[in-house]
Every structure is written in C-alpha cells, then in structure tokens.
Structure 1
Amino acid sequence: MSGDWHGGAAAVVTLTFDVDAETPILAQGGRFAAHASTMSHQAYGPDVGLPRLLGLLDETEVPATFFVPGWVAEQRPGLAASIADRGHEVAYHTYAHRPPTSMSPEEERADFLRGLEVFARQGIEIAGYRAAMWEASWLTLELVGEHGLRYDSSLMGDDRPYRVGTAAGEVVELPVHWSLDDWEQYAFLPEPDVGSVIESPRKVLEMWCAELDGMRTYRCLFNLCAHPFLSGRPGRALALRRFIEYARECGDVRFARCREVAEAAAADPEVGSRPHRPPRVAPDVYPD
C-alpha cells in the first residue's frame, strides 16, 4: 500500500486476533490457575482455535495480525514463530494482559519492556501494540513511540487511522470499537465473570457485514478484533469465513496486516492528528 492509506479501496479490513490464552483470567487473580475447567476454556484458544483460524486464513489467502501477550509467547515458545511463518504479523499485547490503567507508570514501563524482551529473544520483530482490554493509560502511546513501534491499536477516537503526538514522537493509531470485537458477542464464563452472552454467529455475521457496508460508504478501517478461544469455535469460525467471502464479493475492500496500514498512514499527508491528553477535571464537579 502506498500513497493514500487505503490504497484506493472503499474500506480496508484488518483481521486481528488477540491470542490471550489464560492471561485475561490470571490477570484477575493467580488463584484461578487452580480452576481446571476455566484454564481449559482458555487453553482452547492457542491449542485448537488458533490452528483452525490459521488454516482458514490459508484457505482464503487473507493476511492477518495476531496480538500476543509476552507471557503466552514465553509459555508456548513456538507459537509466535508458527504465526509469522504463515506470513502473518505478530504484534504485542502486553506481557501478562494486565490493563495499563491498573498499573502505576513504573509498573507499566516494566511490563511493556518485559514482554518486548520475550519477542526479541525469539527473533520476532514487533511493529505494533494493543493494550489489554483496550485500557490504555495516558503513558501507553509514549511507550509505544519510545520503543520504536510504528502503531498502537487501543483507542477509539476515529474509524480511520490517525496520528497521535507523544513525548517520544508521533505514533499511528489504528482505532478499535466494541462493535467489531467478538468478546462482546461470544464471551461467557461464570467465574471470573468476563462476559455473560453467547450470541448466534448468524447475528454476528449480519452485524459485521452491516458495519462493513457503512465503512465502505465513509472509507474507513474495519479493524476486527477476534480471539481464538471465542471465534475459533466451529460455528463462529464458519461465520468469520463467510464474512471474508462477503468482503471479497463487495469488490472494493482490501485486506491488510496492521503494520502495512500503519506504514501507509504514516506516509499519507491526509491522515490527520487527534489530541491525546486527559481532560481537565475539577474535583468539585467530578470527585473521585
């Protein structure tokens, strides 16, 4: 992709997969490691869902981006390489899936570096970052720039790529939205409570196709966030395949890895900037 960030397409689709495995549960308390059923629910993602989704992408010849926590790559040493070897992008999703907003600045810095070191040891080049639960702090994008990454994908300030200025330089933001996250459609777990809904894949497919139609009208970035432990289930994987087929049938949609979109956006003078600073909050108006 060159010139315009969209490369002339009506919409660009980035299929992204957060390979969380056990981390979202363990981030709520190490005690949950003793819950065998819960751990098996999460291990399904890398053990079953991920190979199924990689096969689907092979068959449809679509590139994707996989956001992997450092802890997951550490526990499963060949996982990141198995993704990269299929031609997909591996991006960074914190070390242990702890939301940056739950940490002090010092803790966030240490967590950020710890995960990057895992990928460096494995020879995996990292260009992008996504905060756990999309809960970026006001420091997060500065860390992205400070460590030489090209983009973040945690914020929601637009539905097209935009630039964010930080103390460490400019970062490209590839925005997300809850309507394009399978967690809000499929996540169900009694304890810990990370979701309590199981929607029909047919309903989800209909919604995503409708969102794509709107984004084609306004030339947007369709940044889908899926999880192997959710969308790797058979009926859901089939819905994802049908979405890919629908996007192809549109004839004006481009599939791309996040890194490619970020590079094109950085080179496109028409890509605008958004302010990135906390609002001023008067304690007498909004007390803690």
Structure 2
Amino acid sequence: MSENWHGGAAAVVTLTFDVDAETPILAGGRDYARHASTMSHQAYGPDVGLPRILGILDELEVPATFFVPGWVAEHRPALAQSIAERGHEVAHHSYSHRPPTSMTPEEERADFERGMEVFADQGIEIAGHRAALWEATWQTAELVAEYGLRYDSSLMGDDRPYRVPTMSGDVVELPVHWSLDDWEQYAFLPAPHVGSVIESPQKVLELWRAELDGMRHYRCLFNLCVHPFLSGRPGRAMALRRLIEYALECGDVRFARCRDVAAAALTDPDLPVRRSQAPVVDPDVYPL
C-alpha cells in the first residue's frame, strides 16, 4: 500500500553526519598529511566529536544517517559497525572525498566502486550515497542506480524528495542546501583555506530553527548536514541538542533515517520526477 513520503508529518527531519575525518584535506593535496595540527583537527571528528554526537542521539532516542568515505571506514575498521550497531544508517560518501566534478567519468566510477567494496568487506549494507562536497556530476545518479542503491543526497532541485530516472532505474533524491550545512557556519582552516568566519552556535541554532519552522509550514524534508569535527565541539553539540529537542517539542515532526525516507518516497504516487541532464550550452555565449 502506497502513502505519501512524509507519513502525515508537518516536516521530516533527517539528521545526517558526514564523517569525513582527514579526507577533505587530503583531497586538496596529499602533502597536507605532513601538517600534524591540521590532521589532528580532522581526527577530532571520529575520535571525539562522533562519540559525543552518538551519545546525544542515544539520549534523545532519534535515528540518524552517517555518510562515511570508504577511506575513513578502511582506516578505522570498527567505525562503521559501531554506528550501525546503535540502529543508525551508514551511507556511501565516495572513497576518497575527491569531488566527482574534479574527476574523469572513469575516475568517478573507480572511486565510487572502491568505496562500495570497503563497506561490502565490512558487512555494512549501503542504501544511499552523497557526493563529496555535493559536487555530483550528471553520471552520479546513474552510478547510484547501477550499484543498486535507493537514493542520492547531493542535489538541490527541491526541498522535498523527488524521483530521478536513470538508465539503470529510478533513484530518490533527498535534496540538500547550504543553509542546513554546518560547514558554512563553522569550518575554518588557514591551509588549505577553508572558511573565514566562525559563527556563534546561538546564531546557527536560530537559523536552523527558522528553517525548520518554514519547512513545517510547507511540509518539507529538513535534511541537516553536519560534520563531527565541527558540530562535535562542546558548544556546537549543545546547540545541536537544543535543535533536536525543539523539533521533538513541536509534536508534528518525524525523525527518520535517509534510507527509510527513500523507501517511503519510492512508493509515493505523488512524488515529482526531475530528470538529471545537463543544460544545452552555446559556446559562443558561455566560453570556458
């Protein structure tokens, strides 16, 4: 029996955590592996921030989805299983965290496949994907479908789930947006240069609460993307906790793992369809 993807809730909240660790920095150049301070800044995520966040989720009894690069899962072989054992979802986040837009189609495929192999070797069932830096290509959805995954979470074509047809079958898109990403609020490194301003957690909490209220009004998917090396820090973790508590107090918000939202969306007869195809670009108008 089919029903609407939201199950009657005013808004559905998917708490998603990109457990990137060192990969976003190494993707900028392997020479950064020599930078002990920078590497420790990134390792804080899985070593300190992740356990703190898992504790908050346990206490508030809400499910979440953790997007993990294959490199991170490979170098920390107990990490993915420790997340899955607590009832949360582990999802594919490339192998290397190199953005697909920086690769050839063959490189993107090889990186995608290598990540899938890591999780297969660890016995982790994967249902969805998120492109590194959200920089999907027009091939990405095809890869997601080809490898038997249910959903992608990299595009911004709506604020509700939508269906993306591919030659290998349909994929559910769980759209993202910069306003619901803690990277835009907290990320800062001098080298490689990442961000320029570190915002107050109170300001971030206000922003996210306002977005949630708007999405409750319009019945949307509140797809929050946070990073343990950023939002796992104490004051920010407390702001995240207060956001979750606020959503629970609303009484009309449902928390769900991405895989569960995607499963419901696939049976929703009213789910919009948006084709993933590049615009036709006149080289005389738009030079390289």
Residues in 1 aligned to 2:197 and 2:97: alpha-carbon distance in whole angstroms? 22
Q: Describe the SS at the equivalent of 2:236.
A: helix
Query: Which ranges of 4 or more aligned residues in structure 1 deviate by more than 4 Å?
Result: none
Q: Describe the SS at the equivalent of 1:224.
A: strand
2:274 is matched with 274
Q: Describe the SS at the equivalent of 2:47.
A: helix
1:148 is matched with 148
Residues in 1 aligned to 2:278 and 2:148: alpha-carbon distance in whole angstroms? 23
Q: Deviations over 1:138-160 (max 9, x none)?
A: 10000000000000000000000
Residues in 2 aligned to 1:167 and 1:70: alpha-carbon distance in whole angstroms? 26
1:54 is matched with 54
Q: Deviations over 1:100-152 (max 9, x none)?
A: 00000000110000010000000000000000000000100000000000000
Residues in 2 aligned to 1:18 and 1:287: alpha-carbon distance in whole angstroms? 35
Residues in 1 aligned to 2:144 and 2:275: alpha-carbon distance in whole angstroms? 16
> Which amino acid counterpart does residue 106 of structure 1 have in structure 2?
E
Residues in 1 aligned to 2:92 and 2:141: alpha-carbon distance in whole angstroms? 13
Per-residue deviation, 1:2: 6.3
Counterparts in 2 of 1:3-14, with a 5 A limit? 3-14=3-14
Higher alpha-carbon deviation: 266-275 or 68-77 = 266-275
2:229 is matched with 229
Q: Describe the SS at the equivalent of 2:165.
A: strand
1:95 is matched with 95
Q: Which runs of 5+ in 2 are unaligned?
A: none
Counterparts in 2 of 1:1-288, with a 5 A limit? 3-288=3-288
> Which amino acid counterpart does residue 153 of structure 2 have in structure 1?
S
Per-residue deviation, 1:249: 1.1
TM-score (ref. length: structure 2): 0.99
TM-score (ref. length: structure 1): 0.99
Per-residue deviation, 1:205: 0.3
Aligned length: 288
Residues in 2 aligned to 1:276 and 1:57: alpha-carbon distance in whole angstroms? 34
> Which amino acid counterpart does residue 164 of structure 1 have in structure 2?
V
Q: Describe the SS at the equivalent of 2:170.
A: strand
Residues in 2 aligned to 1:276 and 1:64: alpha-carbon distance in whole angstroms? 27
Residues in 1 aligned to 2:197 and 2:54: alpha-carbon distance in whole angstroms? 26
Counterpart contact for 2:2–2:269, Cα < 8 Å: no
Q: Deviations over 1:42-62 (max 9, x none)?
A: 000000000000000000001
CA 236–177 in structure 1, closer or farther in 2 if over 3 Å, else same = same
Residues in 2 aligned to 1:84 and 1:275: alpha-carbon distance in whole angstroms? 32
Q: Deviations over 1:37-94 (max 9, x none)?
A: 0000000000000000000000000100000000000000000000000110000000
